[in-house]
A and B are shown apart, each in its own frame.
Chain A
């Protein structure tokens, strides 16, 4: 890779439309199914700059409105085209704290790229791939600079949870001059970025790098600390001396189907399967002490992004047959197209219109198979998707050693249950003011999956940033004596 990026000229607009969108280079699928290295290998500088030339630089860019955090997309792309990668990163970081991560895991095809003017007549500008290139280039060349911090305000904020919401909130507050401590229940910070998203989609070195950047900004990390157990929210205010609290505890409660046989040995939640492999590095057992045993045949129930991660992880662990069980069709699958296509290339056996009825096991309690029911699509349901209905008499059996339940997660109740006065909705999610993200308790804010239910990294980051503004305003009023810290006991 060259160490300098030379800019390329601006093309006349009709010319820009003739340049085809550049595909993302990937590891060959025959090779990648036996390693955990990143599947998408990223643009080289030449490709990134030629892709940047395609941007029409719209006066009223729809892509910016499509971005949940409102990145000035034409501006960062134009700086990239001119060869000013450092400037491009600064532009990205004005609105997005974690561009290397978002460039990889954001569903751009539903956000910025879907509304790109070029998409109307061809293929949209590859915004996510360029975002990733800019962040990777700066990280690999060590030229990224620490953002400027406001003078210390003397106010302290506790951020609970070190996932995308917590990290984004902490970064904004630190920039505003507040002293921030992030509390994390696990031994490593990063939340779902570390325990959930696999190495082959998001290398952990990138998460570590971004978290190191936060600590360089003065943010304190407290791993091994469970709010609701090690200390309560009340204690954060009155014993630890924090002036505000942000709850970004995520969607950490795995759902099961409630079908017979679900407690047989070999039925795992997606959280357990992925945590063993990603956080605990069970793929490197016995060098790492945590085991995982997918067996020869693995079924994953569900077809979202988490399900894709489980399927592809099982493949890489050496399972011979990896089967996706989903009760609707490919069209209704909530996974990103890119993830689905990658999984299809990796020879995952997709059983659309299939619903599990029971898990079968042997006398020792180990999983031996599943009973599956064929489905067909009926009338649209409340979500607007056609409701799957069982086909009578279509039950059949499959033989599997492992079943992974990837049917969604709910809010983890540890922090919320132990916080008296915190208003929750009927799903157990925290109710927060849509503007400030303040909860029913003054001085306690919340954002990300714990408020919205399981969603995306970028939405959680957006919520973290939004809460940071609410917290900043609250701290100002606290300093002015207009409000008081809450007493929860």
Chain B
């Protein structure tokens, strides 16, 4: 059992967990992830590590409620525990002094971006971060990302925070004003990463994307996470999760992410039904 030390709702449906996992905390490098199985009947889901504190023996995970598993996790608290947390998995981000690095994060992708931005800054890069979300409260980890960056630019779809529009608009303007950066790191929904890749490709700017495919074991054993990169099949869990964004077949990634949509729907509805029953049951006693 991996003890949850705390859970905090940092934005609507975004939860920050601090989990006791000393061995993972000790070995974690930016870009790596863990596979979490919340309970005995649970599924194994990949979650990127937002922060690791080797001295405290804890890792920080940011979870967005999407399906049944993440919704149920959102109801767990300090004192509860996850049945299984394994890692750190995947290849660490290649961090060196490139010059200027633009970190582009969307939605839950801001969490895994945080240690990468911090690592790039510590390596002597000028780190410019662009964070986006649907609305102001969904642009998570602003204070942490501000500390990990030299400058930060915010966008929202509804204009409630920063400039109205998409991260790609901000990236395009940033490149126009400041010139081409040496590297762009994009983490977020697949469609966002694809848009960033399409923007930087004609400009010849090196761009990395961290992919979020479906996984089971996370150790290269099952191949559920396979993607096509430069025409070659790669396993995200061991060959990635970061790849050259210009080589990734994002169409395939987007399609493969939809594999279990009907089952996800069934599980979510069943879970919500159970929650309603519990609440009604609780009402009788109250």
Point out residues on A near B: beta carbons under 8 Å: 185-187, 195, 223-226, 229-231, 252-254, 256, 262-263, 265-266, 268-269, 271-272, 275-276, 280-281, 285-291, 293, 364-365, 412-414
Contact B43 A187 (CB under 8 A): no
Contact A286 B69 (CB under 8 A): no
Nearest chain A CB to B259's CB is how many angstroms away?
5
Point out residues on B near A: beta carbons under 8 Å: 2, 23-24, 27, 37, 41-44, 68-69, 83-89, 216-217, 219-224, 226-228, 233, 238, 252, 255-256, 258-260, 262-264, 266-267, 270
Contact B256 A414 (CB under 8 A): no
Prevailing SS type, chain A contact patch: loop
Chain B residues in 8 Å Cβ range of A275:
216-217, 221-222
Prevailing SS type, chain B contact patch: mixed
Nearest chain B CB to A342's CB is how many angstroms away?
25
Contact B255 A229 (CB under 8 A): no
A223 and chain B: residue at smallest CB distance? B84
Contact A286 B221 (CB under 8 A): no
Contact B23 A185 (CB under 8 A): no
Chain B residues in 8 Å Cβ range of A272:
216, 222-224
Given A272-B216, A291-B260, also A286-B267 (CB < 8 A)? yes
CA distance A252 to B2 in the complex (A): 26
Nearest chain B CB to A349's CB is how many angstroms away?
25
User: Which of A226, A263, A276, A291 interacts with B219 by CB under 8 Å?
Assistant: A226
Given A286-B267, A291-B260, A414-B238, also A265-B255 (CB < 8 A)? yes
Contact A230 B44 (CB under 8 A): no
Chain B residues in 8 Å Cβ range of A412:
219-221
Contact A271 B222 (CB under 8 A): yes
CA distance A230 to B2 in the complex (A): 15
Nearest chain A CB to B238's CB is how many angstroms away?
7
Contact A253 B220 (CB under 8 A): yes
CA distance A413 to B221 in the complex (A): 10
CA distance A475 to B150 in the complex (A): 55
A361 and chain B: residue at smallest CB distance? B255
Contact A229 B89 (CB under 8 A): yes
CA distance A230 to B52 in the complex (A): 14
Nearest chain B CB to A375's CB is how many angstroms away?
25
User: Which of A231, A253, A268, A293 interacts with B23 by CB under 8 Å?
Assistant: A231
Contact B259 A265 (CB under 8 A): yes
Specify which of A224, A226, A230, A262 lies most central, judged by the most chain B CB atoms within 10 Å of its CB. Answer: A224
Contact B85 A293 (CB under 8 A): no
Chain B residues in 8 Å Cβ range of A271:
221-223
Chain B residues in 8 Å Cβ range of A281:
41
Contact B263 A280 (CB under 8 A): no
Given A226-B86, A254-B222, A280-B43, also A365-B24 (CB < 8 A)? no
CA distance A256 to B234 in the complex (A): 12
Contact A229 B263 (CB under 8 A): no
CA distance A364 to B261 in the complex (A): 13
Nearest chain B CB to A133's CB is how many angstroms away?
32
B268 and chain A: residue at smallest CB distance? A286
User: Which of B41, B227, B233, B256 interacts with A287 by CB under 8 Å?
Assistant: B41
Nearest chain A CB to B52's CB is how many angstroms away?
13
CA distance A285 to B41 in the complex (A): 10
CA distance A268 to B222 in the complex (A): 8
Nearest chain B CB to A391's CB is how many angstroms away?
29
Contact A288 B41 (CB under 8 A): yes
B224 and chain A: residue at smallest CB distance? A272
Chain A residues in 8 Å Cβ range of B220:
252-253, 412-414
User: Which of B27, B41, B221, B258 interacts with A253 by CB under 8 Å?
Assistant: B221
Contact B27 A229 (CB under 8 A): yes
Contact B263 A265 (CB under 8 A): no
Nearest chain B CB to A310's CB is how many angstroms away?
13
A186 and chain B: residue at smallest CB distance? B217
CA distance A289 to B67 in the complex (A): 10
A196 and chain B: residue at smallest CB distance? B221
Chain B residues in 8 Å Cβ range of A290:
43-44, 216
Nearest chain A CB to B155's CB is how many angstroms away?
30
Contact B89 A226 (CB under 8 A): yes
Chain B residues in 8 Å Cβ range of A288:
41-43
